[in-house]
Amino acid sequence: MSSFDLTRRPRRLRATSHIRDLVRETHLRRDDLIMPIFVSHGSNIRREIPSMPGIFQHSLDALDRELDAISQAGVPRVILFGIPEHKDAVGSDAFDTEGGIIQRAVRHIKKSHPHLYVITDVCFCEYTDHGHCGVLADDGRLLNDPTLANLQRQALSHARAGADMVAPSGMIDGMIGAMRQALDEDGYDDLPIMSYAVKYASAFYGPFRDAVDSAPQSGDRRAYQMDPANAREALVEAALDVEQGADILMVKPALAYLDIVASIRANFDLPVAAYNVSGEYAMVKAAAAKGWVDERALATEKLLSMKRAGADIIITYFARDLAGDLS
């Protein structure tokens, strides 16, 4: 028998799986997850992204295979990113109501898999020939207000195609207010906006740029995306988006910014989303391929950390593969 007088023994609540399940503080559910999908012009395309094993570009005629897998896994929501056939200075495919790749994809999904909730990324970096998130001046500066006008056109085209939610990601000043105004005036006052409210200029985006060929042709995006060194600025950005009508606030990336997720959760009452970005996904995949880590266990632990920090919603490339393990 023990000779120690221990009044508290926390291990009692860790002794078996039954008690651990009973007292677990944070839960990861499949209903928390959103699966990103890359859709491309063309036909018979199912092209794996080299830096993101298991993630593919899909043409519309090949998309149902992915949608079936997502549905069978129990993931209820997707977010769409497009690879256009042609790029130009203003990214006109992004607001092409009839022929734009995202607009066509939304209509396809709503017809073939109407149970899926469809969110659309609203930005221009995939669609412009210069790779920046809007209209550029001759000297290479991103022009804020002309970009707002195009964001209004893009958001309306997505709404008219049948999108359930729009998600602007460019970190353009006033983007939420401009889009909310355009949507409301066109009768889409009930269409929610999930704002990439706090988006950092991050090295974790590398594989995504590979996926959609969106690397800037000159300069970088530090003049509009946030400095990774700044935390208080995140509260300023989020507060502006709340004031302008955002319905959900997102932090991107997630893993290296869990302090920011927690800060947004503590300071605002809106739902908080975290984007488990491409670089975070690729690192797990690369380590698992070497046999260095247990892929599913590590991926689950990472997503759980985002929930623990305060995220209500997680956008993750692991959604399809992990959802079957979740309730």
**Mean per-residue pLDDT pooled into runs of 10, the chain (327 residues):** 83 97 97 98 96 97 98 98 93 94 98 98 92 88 93 97 97 97 98 98 89 74 92 98 98 98 98 98 98 98 98 98 95
pLDDT of residue 77: 98
Q: What is the pTM of this model?
A: 0.96
pLDDT of residue 66: 98
Please give the DSSP secondary-structure letter assigned to residue 292: S
As a whole number of angstroms, the distance between CA 111 and CA 94 comes to 21
Return the percentage of the chain with pLDDT > 70, whole number.
99
pLDDT of residue 220: 77
What is the number of other CB atoms lying within 10 angstroms of the CB of residue 323? 22
pLDDT of residue 219: 65
User: Which residues in the chain belong to E strands, given as ranges?
Assistant: 33-40, 46-48, 56-59, 77-83, 117-122, 135-136, 142-143, 165-168, 194-199, 248-252, 272-276, 313-316
User: Which residues are CB-contacts of 167 (< 8 A; sequence separation ≥ 6)?
Assistant: 79, 119, 120, 121, 122, 193, 194, 195, 196, 250
User: Which residues are CB-contacts of 242 (< 8 A; sequence separation ≥ 6)?
Assistant: 249, 268, 270
pLDDT of residue 4: 86
As a whole number of angstroms, the distance between CA 208 and CA 126 comes to 10
What is the number of other CB atoms lying within 10 angstroms of the CB of residue 139? 5
pLDDT of residue 2: 60
As a whole number of angstroms, the distance between CA 318 and CA 284 comes to 10
Alpha helix ranges (H) inside 88-224: 101-112, 144-161, 175-185, 206-212
Q: Which two tokens stand for residue 211?
A: 């996926």
The rounded Cα 263 to chain-centroid distance in angstroms is 19
Q: Which two tokens stand for residue 90?
A: 């203003």
3-state secondary structure of 134: coil
Size (the chain), residues: 327
3-state secondary structure of 21: helix
pLDDT of residue 223: 85
pLDDT of residue 19: 98
pLDDT of residue 1: 57
Residues marked active site are found at 199, 252
User: Which residues are CB-contacts of 295 (< 8 A; sequence separation ≥ 6)?
Assistant: 284, 285, 287, 288
As a whole number of angstroms, the distance between CA 165 and CA 121 comes to 9
As a whole number of angstroms, the distance between CA 48 and CA 10 comes to 47
pLDDT of residue 301: 98
**Is the backbone peptide bond immediately before 253 cis, with ω within 30 degrees of 0?**
yes
3-state secondary structure of 196: strand
